[in-house]
Amino acid sequence: MSADRPTPRRTPTGAAVLRPELTESIAEAVLDELAEHGYGRLSMDAVARRAGVGKSALYRRWPSKQDMVVDVVSRLSVPLADVPDTGSLRDDLLATLRAVLDWLDHPRFRSVLPDLLAEAVRTPALADALAKHVGEPRRLRGAALLDRGVARGDVRADLDREVVLDLIAAPLYWRLRGRHVPVTPDYLENLADALVSMVSAAPPGASREGDGAS
């Protein structure tokens, strides 16, 4: 798992050892500052003050605000994408959907992702860093779910995986942070059913039966 986290670009100077519990306190301060003020107005000073450390403790860990924020968001986000192999396509999908919901509704994270994504429209380097350290590691876990289904014979091998993987996280994000309507347990069940009927291995041609014109 740690291979998915951003590699610090600056090696700690000399023999300095980074205390993990201090990194954890700083990470909590970063998330709280992000939630309260957003990425644009977040300052290294405020994070240091909130964590009760000097700014040097921050710069020993991350060379810049962007690296700090992306690493902290990655440390929160990537482990939340780990779901067990249940042996069933529908149960794997449902577990993954619940994990996405836990991520998006994480109390420290609710407003953080929309802020970061809005900022990323204007800041391509931030968009790239979020994709590399948050999006891609999370997506690998979704791809593994599909691989297991193909291996079991449950999942069509000819799927456009870009489409299917988008359809797992996208509706929950759109609903919670775009439309601002709740995701109920029934909704998750019905979404899992819809995804199962989309990806299930079925006799060729059967899935487009109703469509006469294309």
Residue numbers of the site for a copy of itself (CB under 8 A)?
A: 38, 86-91, 110-111, 114-115, 117-118, 120-122, 124, 127-128, 130-131, 135, 149, 153-155, 159-160, 162-164, 166-167, 169-171, 173-175, 177-181, 186-187, 190-191, 193-198, 200-202, 206-214
Question: What sections of 52-132 are H helices per DSSP?
Answer: 55-61, 65-77, 89-104, 112-122, 124-130
SS3 label, residue 155: strand
Q: Which is nearer to a copy of itself, 9 or 122 (CB)?
A: 122
User: Smallest distance, Å, CB 81 to a copy of itself?
Assistant: 14
Cβ 84 to a copy of itself shortest distance, Å: 13
Nearer to a copy of itself, 57 or 112 (CB): 112
Least separation in angstroms between residue 179's CB and a copy of itself is: 6
Q: Residue 155 pairs with which residues in a beta bridge?
A: 200
Q: State the nearest-atom distance from the C-beta of 132 to a copy of itself, in Å.
A: 11
Nearer to a copy of itself, 58 or 134 (CB): 134
> In the complex, what is the shortest distance from the CB of residue 102 to a copy of itself, in angstroms, rounded to a whole number?
17
CB contact at 8 A, 211 and 165:
no
For residue 200, the cross-strand partners are: 155
Query: What Cα–Cα distance (Å) separates residue 35 from each residue in 40, 41, 67, 158, 177?
Result: 11, 11, 17, 41, 14
Identity of the residue, 8 or 114, whose beta carbon is nearer to a copy of itself in the bound complex: 114
| CA Rg value for the chain | 20
Q: Token pair of 184, please?
A: 């109920």
